[in-house]
Amino acid sequence: MLELLSEHACFGGVQRFYRHASTAIGLPMRFSAFIPAVPGGQKLPALFYLAGLTCTEETFATKAGAQRVAAREGLILIGPDTSPRGANIAGETDEWDFGAGAGFYLDATEAPWSKHYRMFSYLLELHALVVAELPVNPAKVGIFGHSMGGHGALVTALKRPDLFRSVSAFAPIAAPTRCPWGEKAFSGYLGADRDSWKEYDASELMLTMEAPFPGGILIDQGLADKFLEQQLYPQAFEAACVKARQPLELRRHAGYDHGYYFISTFMEDHLRFHRVQLG
C-alpha cells in the first residue's frame, strides 16, 4: 500500500512523494512520481529515472526540469531512492560512494549488505507496484538514469527488457568492473569473485547479447566531466554495442560536466526519445 507523503500541483499534473513497505528491501522505501493530467481512465507510458551517488528520491524531481516536457508528452516519471535507508549497518553512512545513497542498483550477496541492499530486486518490485497503483501502461515502461543511476538503468534494461522497453543514460558508469567506484562497491556488495561482477556491468552484459534494443540506446556524455577518464568508460560500452550490433547514439558534448546543469540541458531529448520508443 502506498502512503502519500506530499503532493504538489505541477504543469497541470501532480508531483507526488510516496512511502511504502518494501518486501525486497525489508524496510520502508520512498519514491517520487510525476503524474500528468490523465484523460478519463487512460493509462500512460512511464519512465523510471535512477539517480546517482548521494542522491535521494527528491533529486530528479527538484533538479532535472523534466515535468514540463513529461506533461506535454504524457509521461509518468518515477524516481526511486538510491539505496535502503535505516538498515543500521555499521559504517553504512561513513563514505559517500558506498553504503547509504550508493546502492548501485544491484542485489548484494555479501553480509551484512545482503539482507537489505537488494536494489535490483527492488526496482522490479517497484515496477509491479506502480503498474498496480498508478495509471501506468505496463507495456510502455522505459528506464534512464545518471552516473551510478545510468549504470543501473543500462543493467536493469539489459537484464529485464521484457519490463523496460526503452533505455537511455546521462554519463553512466558504463564499465564498473574497470573503475574505482565499481571496484569498491562490487567488492563490498558482491565479494572477491570478479566474474560475478559482470552480472552488473552493462559493457560485459552487452557482449553476451545481440541487439537487445533494436530501436536504439541514447547516451549523453559531457567532455568536461571530471569523472570521465577514470570512472565512466563510455567507450567500453560503445565498443560492446558495436560487437552486439546494438544501435547506440553516444553524444559527446564539449564544455558540459557531470551535474544537473548538463542533465537538464538534454532532458527534453531523452524524454522525447523514450516517447518515440514506447509509442
Catalytic residues: 147, 225, 258
Distance of CA 241 to the CA centre of its chain: 19
Please state the φ and ψ torsions of residue 10, each to the nearest 5 degrees. Answer: -155, 115
DSSP states of 128-154: HHHHHHSSEEEEEEEEEEETHHHHHHH
Query: 113, 186, 174: which is closest to 146 by C-alpha?
Result: 174
Nearest 10 degrees: Cα torsion 179, 180, 183, 186: -100
Check if the beta carbon of residue 105 is closer than 8 Å to that of residue 156.
Answer: yes
Check if the beta carbon of residue 135 is closer than 8 Å to that of residue 159.
Answer: no
Give how far Cα 15 sits from Cα of 2, 6, 10, Å: 15, 8, 6
Q: Cβ neighbours of residue 277 under 8 Å, at least 6 residues apart?
A: 142, 165, 166, 215, 216
Helix, strand, or coil (residue 271) = helix
Residue 123, all three cell numbers? 526496482
Query: At 242, which amino acid appears?
Result: V
Query: Residue 237: which H helix or E strand, with range?
Result: helix 234-244
